[in-house]
Amino acid sequence: MTKDRAASLLFLCAGIYGFYFSVQLPMGRWNEPGPGVFPFALSLLLLVSGAAWFIRGKRRVKEEGEGENADRYAFIKNLATPLKIVGLTALLILAFNSVGYLAAASLYIFVLLFWVSRYRVVVSILLALSIGIGSWYFFEKVLAVQLPRGVLFL
Amino acid sequence: MDVFGSLANGFQTALSLQNIYLCFIGCLWGTMVGVLPGIGPLAGITLLIPATFGLDATGAIIMLAGIYYGAMYGGSTTSILMNVPGESASVVTCIDGYQMTLKGRGGAALFISAWGSFVGGTLSIVGLMLLAPTLADFAMKFGPPEMFSVLLVAFVLLGSLGSGSFFRTMPMVFLGLLIGTIGMDPLTGSMRFTHNVTDLYDGIGLLPVAMGAMGVGEILIATEESLLRVIHKIKLRELLPTRDELRASWGPIFRGSGIGFMIGLMPGSAHVLSSFVSYMAEKRLARRPEEFGHGRIEGVAGPETANNAASGSAMIPFLSLGIPTGPAPAVMMIALLIHGITPGPLFISKHPDVFWGLIASMYLGNVMLIVLNLPFVGIFISLLRIPFRVLFSVILLICLVGTYSVNSSTFELAVLLFFGILGYFIRKMKYDMAPLILAMIIGPTMELSLRQALMRSDGSFSIFWESSITMTLIAASFLLLVWNIYRGIRPTKASWEKALEESK
């Protein structure tokens, strides 16, 4: 699949979603347009754009042939680090309120440094504690941001 | 009150100890994010938004604006000394700036770059000071049809001046507009696309979207390549340029100021575009254009002046019309909205202290920056020694806490992550997230103006032809649309367009 085609799928999905839900909203009349008119028009525009890029993307597959395959492998290969970061960030968000900022953030930084950045355990622990405590102090004490304390009251 | 009286009041505001400090912090942080590759002015501003919550609106905007124009100064340092652009507007500075460093004239290039940035920045503030109140006064006469017409022109221009082609930018604009409709309809109170999720009733927050798309998305892209960056050792030789270099740089500095100021008024990546256009203009005007690319001072002076001038004039549409023309002004607008201030035609008359305080602080900030960027340039270079594999985790943490601190909502953290992932994939697909964010900001006003205009005219579209302003603006947007479509499908491209694409 070309990049244009992947993008076209995103636009088509957004267009279909917008279309499906906007037709359920009141459309009103021209002298009193309802809340559905604007999203409906945008959904149609997204569907048209998506369809246009889908067709253009198909043409590109034929033109580019193997080059596109190489691109695809590089894309998948490069995905590992971003996936690790996204996964860890999702876990942090889930644990944010229950575990508390200090513990969750320190653990998050430790895993990032150890697993993603490949630092040694001791270095990762020291850096994670410094960043965790430093950021907690900066946000909670200096900027007076109310951060979650969680079950550990940290 | 006249301009100079208002400016004097502005200086009273800006010269308070707290605002001088905030201006300095903004300029310092701006220079730092400009120097560090991978963190541009946009990320720099978004990261510091949480720090403004305890401040008044004037202090907040003074600091955030300082980051914006400070980043333009800092971006050139690594371009000249290391051939690594600190931010996108400094890409073109690498061409001749680094060559000058190789010839032992890096110090002179830094000096001219800082001097040009100072002149360009200061001239654009003069323009901003004179033009913004006039434009705001004019815009106060605008009703819903006029407002819709202005926004229509802005959207078509956005499509033409985004970093991608018109056909690539417009779907992102449509997507941004559609996301902007999520939440309660302001006219009828109906819920749109909320699916009974209470967190969505007020719509999707702009801050998590901007921080996710620009902060988290950028980090995901940057970590994909390599977490290790090679830092070269730099020796700074003499900073002072020769008399010939000074003489050769005056023309490009003034031309760059004009080019940058004009381009900054238009939507899109104005500071990037202005530096390219300035470089091309200098090359065309040069007696020996073949020397460009081999260390000509004009190739540094023009672009560096232009991107600073553009950053000043980009504030005009944002402050006087409420239309941010680029992602960085958009994030500043979000910050002002968080502080309960809506930029637009009424902004200057309702909040003169904020507007004139900002203008005065920009004059001060330019002086601070020239001091920061010349004698202390070595300190900023040493920032590059912080390993990126540590820095990225800190930036992620700041994005998360910054988002959480607005509403103490983990739902917004999920939105942040979602838009981070979306931003990553959009960038991978060679699309641009900035038009989506701009569309999200302006979209609700555009929809409201359209619907109010139609209600006022009892459903007749002739309301858009009734006044000369709307007629001109609608005609302009139609012509721009036709030109964009032609430009999108024509086979050949202008030299600066090719250069811009190559650099990306």
Question: How does pLDDT run across B322-374, given as a tens digit for each residue?
Answer: 888 777 888 888 888 888 888 888 888 899 999 999 999 999 999 998 888 87
CA distances to A51, A81, B19, B316 from B341, in Å = 40, 40, 18, 16
Q: Is residue A152 part of a domain?
A: no
Indicate whether A114 belongs to any domain.
Answer: yes
Return d(Cα B50, Cα B53) in angstroms, integer.
6
Average pLDDT over residues B83-107: 77
pLDDT at A62: 59
B151-160, B241-250, B323-332: lowest mean pLDDT where?
Answer: B151-160
By mean pLDDT, which of A115-129, B19-33, B56-70, B391-405 is the weakest? B391-405
Q: Which residue of A has its CA nearest to B217?
A: A82
Residues A8 and A62 in one domain: yes
Q: Once rounded to an integer, what is the mean pLDDT over residues B302-327?
A: 86
Q: Is residue A8 a part of any domain in this protein?
A: yes
* pLDDT number for residue B68: 87
pLDDT band, very low/low/confident/very high, at B255 (cuts 50, 70, 90):
very high
The answer to whether the Cβ–Cβ distance between A81 and B227 falls below 8 Å is yes
Domain boundaries, chain B: 3-503
Q: Residue A104: what pLDDT?
A: 93
Residue finishing a domain among A60, A78, A96: A78
Q: Quick one: A20 and A74 in the same domain?
A: yes
Domain annotation covers residue A44: yes
- Indicate if A73 and A86 belong to the same structural domain: no
B391: left (phi over 0), alpha (psi -120 to 50) or beta: alpha
pLDDT the model gives residue A152: 67
Residue-wise pLDDT for B256-302, tens only, equals 999 988 888 876 666 777 888 888 888 888 888 888 888 889 989 99
Please tell me which of A146-150, B94-98, B416-420 the model is most confident about, judged by mean pLDDT: B416-420
What's the pLDDT at A134? 92
Q: Name residues of chain A where pLDDT drops below 70.
A: 1, 58-72, 152-154
| Domain total in chain A | 2
CB-closest option in B175, B431, B454 to A30? B454
Last residue of a domain, one of A78, A97, A117: A78
Mean per-residue pLDDT, B57-67: 92
Cβ(B119)–Cβ(B72) below 8 Å = no
Return the top range by mean pLDDT from A15-19, B381-385, B470-474: A15-19
Say what the pLDDT of residue A51 is.
92
Tell which residue, B67, B75, B59, has the closest CA to residue B19.
B59
**Which has more confidence, B472 or B240?**
B472
SS3 assignment, position A129: helix
User: Measured in Å, how far apart are chain B's first and last C-alpha atoms?
Assistant: 46
* Of residues A123 and B440, more confidently modeled: A123
Cβ atoms of B54 and B351 closer than 8 Å: no
| A37/B400 CB distance under 8 A | no
Give A 38-97 residues with CB within 8 A of chain B.
38-39, 42-43, 45-46, 49-50, 52-53, 75, 78-79, 81-82, 85-86, 89-90, 92-93, 96-97
In a shared domain, residues A87 and A74: no
Q: Touching check for A98 and chain B: CB below 8 Å?
A: no
On the CB side of B501, CA atoms within 13 Å amount to 10
Which of A78, A101, A121 delimits the end of a domain? A78
B178 Cβ neighbours under 8 A, 6+ residues apart: A14, A18, A39, A42, A43, A46
Q: In this structure, are A71 and A102 located in the same domain?
A: no
B330/B338 Cα distance (integer angstroms): 12
Q: What is the ipTM of this complex?
A: 0.91
Same domain for A7 and A70? Answer: yes
Q: B476 pLDDT exceeds 70?
A: yes
Q: Same domain, yes or no, for A43 and A89? A: no
**Sign of the alpha-carbon dihedral angle for B138, B141, B144, B146:** negative
Co-location of A97 and A37 in the same domain = no
Position B232 scores a pLDDT of: 46
Beta carbon pairs, A and B, within 8 Å: 169
Q: Is the pLDDT of residue B231 over 50?
A: no
Q: Residue B321: pLDDT above 60?
A: yes
* pLDDT confidence of residue A64: 55
Q: What 8-state DSSP symbol labels residue B54?
A: T
Q: A49 in a domain, yes or no?
A: yes
The residue of chain B nearest to residue A8, with distances taken between CA atoms, is B171
Mutation site for A-interface testing, chosen from B152, B169, B181 by largest number of A Cβ within 10 Å? B181
Please, are residues B276 and B496 in contact by the beta-carbon 8 Å criterion? Answer: yes
Strand partners, A28: A33
Long-range contacts of A16-19 (CB under 8 A, 24+ apart): A16/A43, A16/A47, A17/A43, A18/A42, A18/A43, A18/A46, A18/B178, A18/B193, A19/A43, A19/A44, A19/A47
The tokens describing B352, both together, are: 């003169």
- The yes-or-no verdict on residue B385 having pLDDT over 80 is no
Asked whether residue B157 carries a pLDDT value surpassing 50, the answer given is yes
Distance from CA of residue A72 to its chain's centroid? 20
Question: Alpha-carbon torsion A46, B414, B211, B201, what sign?
Answer: positive
Residues 213-242 of B with CB under 8 A from A: 216, 219-221, 223-225, 227
Instruction: Region of B87 please: left (phi>0), alpha (psi -120 to 50) or beta.
Output: beta
User: Considering the domain boundaries, does residue A128 fall inside one?
Assistant: yes
pLDDT at B386: 75
Higher pLDDT, B428 or A14: A14
How far does the CA of residue B321 sit from the closest CA of chain A (Å)? 22
Domain encompassing residue A97: 80-142
CA angle, B440 then B269 then B55, to 5°: 60
Q: Are B274 and B320 in contact (CB under 8 A)?
A: no
Shared domain for A108 and A52, answered yes or no, is no
What average pLDDT does the structure give for chain B?
83
User: Three-state DSSP class for A32?
Assistant: strand
A93, two tokens: 């968000």
Q: Does B409 touch chain A (CB under 8 A)?
A: no
